[in-house]
Structure 1
Amino acid sequence: MLKRKATKQLQDWKKTKNKKCLVVQGARQTGKTFIIRRFAEENYDEYIEINFKMTPSATEIFSGDLDVDGMVMALRFRFPDKKISPDKTLIFLDEIQECPEAITSLKFWADDNRYDVIVSGSLLGIDYKRSSSYPVGYVDYLKMHGLDFEEFLWGLGLSEDMIGSVRDYLLHKKAIPDAIHNQMMSYYRQYIAIGGMPEAVQVYVDSKNFIEVDRIQRDLLQGYQYDIAHYATAEEKVKAEKCYLSLSKQLLDKENHKFQYKEIEHGARAQKYYSSIEWLLSADIIQLSKAVSDIRYDLDDYAKSELFRAYTTDLSLLIAMKDYSLKQHLVENTLSGTTKGGFYECAIADALYKNGYTLYYYKNDTTKKELDFLIQKEGAVIPIEVKSGNTKATSLTSVIKNKPDISYGYKFVDGNLGISEDGIITLPLYMSAFI
């Protein structure tokens, strides 16, 4: 049973006085339903779960007046073995996008405040647009992703104090002992090959069987393609799928990782495909890193929306687009060239995204300066370069030297921790989980 950080967030929500309904968002198969069920079993006397896709007849509960007493009575008739007691029962509405009236009802549950209500759905953000009255101001949000590297380590059996000791090396800017560092790099390469989707991670933890992991990853990718076919408009279906499946070529097979429409099909243009990118973004199927024209706070003021890099929201989906043999190369560290650099860049993007950062990058063809990522933390810009080896970070050095408001930057490498006099903090790739 995998330990997830979302459990603590759910517990904090439960303790909140005058709590709102909780919307658990995220792409399919990130573990939303599982974590909510486990939380309900451990923290409530009873819980009621309605999956509107599995039992569409349950929409009748919300077809009349949406007063709470009326809805509770309808629930009692449907579930006669449940008491549905205030403060002791969790009501869990899954696949809620299939019942717009249930979305509307969240306002009334929140106003009443006697019952704890959690809702979820695979493409919640998109399908909320179908609701007759979206309950703005009456819901809180919890965003779930696949497992991050720290959660993956928990799954492998590493204790929090072991992981904390690794984090301490970052805090004190000290090199990690080789015995620990080499094992952490081994774990990290396993994580890149497996990704963070709970089902794939659980199978690996239980069996260490990469063939079975590969089968699950490909099933997950097919499921995402199904979501595109099922939820996208007729006009977007084919275009969105083509955009999505082009990501492995965009990120792993070429030096320039800027999203290029010509990689989707010959002669393709933004005018035809940009709406598909927006759809994939809204569906939590991709994340974007936008180019900026200048490296200064606030980066969003300098973002160029037409220039971006697109990443999958979990490494599982990217690896499933490629040949199975890549897993062995990743784990054994026998990759080289563009593919190796591309995977490491995607892994850092994955870590930053799961840590809640908005991603940007910088590239100036005139000055030849390029920074793989820019993030913002505590009102400051932090530049980042990713190296598949431990080569010089020329652009990073130049930016720190010439931008007085930027005091340091990170260089993530396939190597150990170190600090240079010019403000560059060199970190092992796996330390991206802790910044």
Structure 2
Amino acid sequence: MALTIDETHDPVRTSWVGSANGHPDFPIQNLPLGIFSPAGGDPRPGVAIGDQILDLRAIAHLLPAILNGSLASPALNALLQHPAADRNALRQSLSCLLSERRYEAGLRAHLHDAGRCRLHLPARIGDYTDFYVGIHHATNIGMLLRPDTPLLPNYKWIPIGYHGRASSIRLSGDAVTRPTGQRRDPERPQPVFGPSTRLDFELELGVWVGEGNMPGQPIAIGEAGRHVAGLCLLNDWSARDFQAWEYQPLGPFLSKNFHTTISPWIVTAEALAPFRVAQAERPAGDPAPLPYLWDEADQASGAFAIDLEVTISTRLMRERDLAPQRLSLSDAGAMYWTAAQMIAHHTVNGCNLESGDLLGTGTLSTSSPLGLGSLMEITRAGQAPVELPGGEVRSFLADGDEIGFTGRARREGFVPIGFGPCRARIAGGADWTPGALSGASRADLLQKSS
């Protein structure tokens, strides 16, 4: 898919919104889309610019007329359904409005301090599919479970995935309730019931679907890229003890459907145009994908140059005012299949995707031990616990632990852009507050992310 690099990506372009210039996530070169409520207001579309949010509904008269009906909704589905050309026209307009001083006086009243706003899920998510395209993660997990055959025979032929639970996708800042279910300990003949003792994170990207397709009409690989509206960060929390007991023969169920955390902003495909890179070449001996999964243009620019980081902060660390500790430094180059290949495979049987559907990439680990995207890999299934500041160790997550993801697209010659926070704390005991983090509001977390 050919995406245009234009003046909106110009590294010398600045905004009259002062906090945008040099902002680690939201400079004017980004302009991600989301849904927010200003203080005392109802949900509406907005764009993040520095530490401010611009109300798109309030300035609809200044934006392309074809989009006006989409900007009245409290969700972005209708906007995402527009062709990429329409979304690009919106980007062009916003970049002009936020960079040229002549518009400042008219727009200032429609800017809101992000720290005083409430963010919402950016779209109504009708369906969620979690893929498994991180080949290093798949190999690492396979080595723990099946040392002789870490990758199953189908892995290099099809993008493996399963249908997840859309209703339990939550925004960054919402607490994770430790799930309860069945697990079978090796030394016991029967399963036991109780809270998960092997709660884990999974470092992923989320792929937002833009234009959908009609039932029975697959999306061709050469067209699949234009159905990607944008990306977010995604933490697919996993109860490893439940998963080991339940996943055969049909795959994950209670081990995955209790909570998935996403970052609040959709970083658009248009914003990511400068950060598209060639898909990594397949190792010698790997099978060539079947024709419906192969497109030369997608191989030339279907991957992303995005750095990904995972940190942990425990209750004790926060009490002692210790900084979060890095657990992983990974990148999006770990994807064995591209986003376009995921979409082409998802729809080849006639399945219809709809705007606002969300696809998870699966855990993105690198080949380096410093870039592992889950505690299952980092601790080798609990055999090598992580040492933390203050003398603590972790094999899996404890109540009060907070996991944070950050992601930044970087490429020489362009201004880096980020995704905002993807952070949540494990609720339990004194930390448990329904639907919120104890002692730290979502607005607090958003401010800390920058």
TM over 0.5: no
Where relative contact order (Cα < 8 A, 6+ residues apart) is larger, the structure is 2
When the two structures are superposed, what TM-score results if normalisation uses the length of structure 2? 0.30
Instruction: Compare the two structures and name the one with the higher strand fraction.
Output: 2
When the two structures are superposed, what TM-score results if normalisation uses the length of structure 1? 0.31
Instruction: Compare the two structures and name the one with the higher helix fraction.
Output: 1
Higher alpha-carbon Rg: 1
